[in-house]
Amino acid sequence: MGLIINPGSPNWWLSPDIWVTAAGDPSTIVAAPIAGQNYDVVVQVNNPYDQAWPGWNLYACWVVPTAGAIAIPPDSQQLSTPPFGSPINVPALSSANFTFNWTPSFVNGGHECLIAVAYDQNIGFVGSLNGDSTTGDYSCAQHNLGVLPVGTNMSRFHYPFQVFNVADEERELLVEVRQAPLAEIERFHRGFPAGLKLLERPGKVEDVGIFDHADRVDSKAATPIPSCVRIAPHSGKMFAVSGKLEKGNALLHVTQSFRGRVVGGLSVLVMAGEK
């Protein structure tokens, strides 16, 4: 029991309770923040119980788009003030929004990979920041959605992301990409330039795969990496999801699995429009 930040469904890394707005304008939702510009990150915290929960804090941060388990980032990536949490109060049987200022770094290109945790300050929270955990003393959610326009004179796209291993030993991780129905992000339509119209122009991705980020994926010689990758302990490696989209819009889910369990994910909306 306690305060809750809802994870996404069916994809827990697409929380509906974390979103970006224009700075000082909560009515203008932004789905594709631009690096270097100023925005607000809004986190909705829910109290479904008939009692208050004094002593709870709210932690928020941004990270480079990452498919796997995420450790607590450095202070420079934290939105909370003070860094380890801000006291919050949510009345019984209600919800409250909390706002953090955010200027996306050029390190992550403005991509939305935002994480928030509501937790009992007397207990704290441990482990990774993946948004698939809700326990009695903390609730964690993640909004990891990138929007990638494809130029009018090209069809190939390239979206970098990180695979990270937070364990103490080397791990073999399964990294996969699949196209999903656009309807899965219908709830976020207000932030997209075309709104609901983008759902009416589905496209089909071709030659999609996971590549080493350093490869020239526009070359015919480039080949996708094997699905299983080995990552050293407490280390990360940059990859990229790449493919071709001639027209329309396509939603891609990238997942990272360990021993048959999905331990991380991110989504990319690729927008080619009509050519």
Environment class of 73 (CB within 10 Å of its CB; exposed 0-12, middle 13-18, buried 19+)? middle
Question: Are the CB atoms for 8 and 262 separated by under 8 Å?
Answer: no
Give me the residue label for tokens 């996708």: 224
pTM of model > 0.95: no
- CA 105/CA 119 separation, integer angstroms: 27
| Per-residue pLDDT, 197 | 82
Domains of the chain, with CATH numbers?
18-146 (2.60.40.10), 148-273 (2.60.40.2310)
β-pairing, 86-88 vs 56-62, is antiparallel
Write out the chain's pLDDT in tens, 275 residues: 789 999 998 899 999 999 999 999 999 999 888 888 999 999 999 999 999 999 999 999 998 888 777 778 888 899 988 778 889 999 999 999 999 999 988 676 667 789 999 999 888 776 667 766 556 678 999 999 988 888 666 688 888 888 888 889 999 999 999 999 999 998 888 887 777 788 889 999 998 999 887 765 555 555 777 789 999 998 888 888 999 999 999 999 999 999 988 888 999 999 986 65
Sign of CA dihedral 142, 166, 148, 241: negative
- What are the tokens at 57? 């804090």
Q: Is 76 helix (H, G, I), strand (E, B) or coil?
A: helix
- CA 258/CA 253 separation, integer angstroms: 16
- What are the start-end ranges of the E strands in 153-205? 156-165, 171-180
| Per-residue pLDDT, 126 | 67
- CA 119/CA 124 separation, integer angstroms: 6
Three-state secondary structure string covering 128-153 = CCCCCCECCCEEEEEEEEEEEECCCC
Which amino acid belongs to residue 2?
G
Name the DSSP letter for residue 213.
T
- CA 259/CA 262 separation, integer angstroms: 9
| Per-residue pLDDT, 102 | 93
